Amino acid sequence: MSSQQSSLNQKGFWPHAPLHQLSENGTYFVTAATYKKEHIFRGSERLAFLHNALLIVAHEIGWRLEAWAVFSNHYHFVAHSPEESGSAASLVEFIRLLHGRTARWVNAKDNLDQRSVWHNYWEVRLTFEKSYYARLSYTHQNPVKHGLVRVPSQYPWCSAQWFERSARAAQVRSVYSIKTDRIKVVDDFDPAPEW
């Protein structure tokens, strides 16, 4: 361990936390995970709360969601940062509000005031069209990847139903046909099968 890592550990910082570079406005792919990958949001009531909180906080902060999927122990979304701000710095506030509200609610539900609910989040700025469409496809189809449903629109806690209703059929086919096996995504989570 380097002396820098040692001093970081002594100050209580986690040396392996991702570096968040949010100086540029744009479209971002975000993944967040619960502490120790625990299934804190298992079941329809908890998934509905997390799902609704994501949509509400995005609206409050001014982020425009393009795709999302929430699970018992993680979530993904693709969203555009607010255009007027000139940067994506408000993502920090977005995540802080979302994680704070959902942690307080679920901890009150379980009578566990001091439990750590969220572990970390990772974001990637999408600067290439192919990367953007690959992550849209990945996010919409994530419930299928995790074996929860056979087709994306069967999972109520993601954007697939909305996407299939609001986009042209050719666009849906085009996005769903994009290969996602080569993109690098933090997604070593096995969500609970109960939803």
Question: Is CATH 3.30.70.1290 the right assignment for the domain spanning 24-176?
Answer: yes
pLDDT score for 16: 40
Q: Please state at what angle helix 90-110 crosses helix 44-61, rounded to 10 degrees.
A: 150
User: What one-character DSSP code corresponds to residue 35?
Assistant: G
User: Which among 98, 105, 93 is positioned nearest to 40, based on CA atoms?
Assistant: 105
pLDDT score for 187: 83
d(CA 134, CA 130): 6
Beta strands 27-34 and 74-80, pairing class: antiparallel
d(CA 21, CA 193): 34
pTM for the model stands at: 0.85
User: Which among 187, 158, 146, 138 is positioned nearest to 65, based on CA atoms?
Assistant: 158
Q: Going residue by residue through the chain (195 aa), what tens digit of pLDDT does each one get? A: 333 333 333 333 333 444 444 456 789 999 999 999 999 999 999 999 999 999 999 999 999 999 999 999 999 999 999 987 767 889 999 999 999 999 999 999 999 989 999 998 999 999 899 999 999 999 999 999 999 999 999 999 999 999 999 999 999 999 999 988 888 887 888 898 888
- Report whether 129 contacts 170 (CB < 8 A): no
Q: What is the DSSP string of 97-149?
A: HHHHHHHHHHHHHHT-TT---EEEEEEEEE-SHHHHHHHHHHHHTHHHHTTS-
Q: What is the DSSP string of 42-74?
A: -SHHHHHHHHHHHHHHHHHHT-EEEEEEE-SSE
pLDDT score for 3: 38
- Report whether 40 contacts 73 (CB < 8 A): yes
d(CA 134, CA 136): 5
Domain boundaries, the chain: 24-176
Query: Can you read off the two tokens belonging to residue 169?
Result: 């059929």
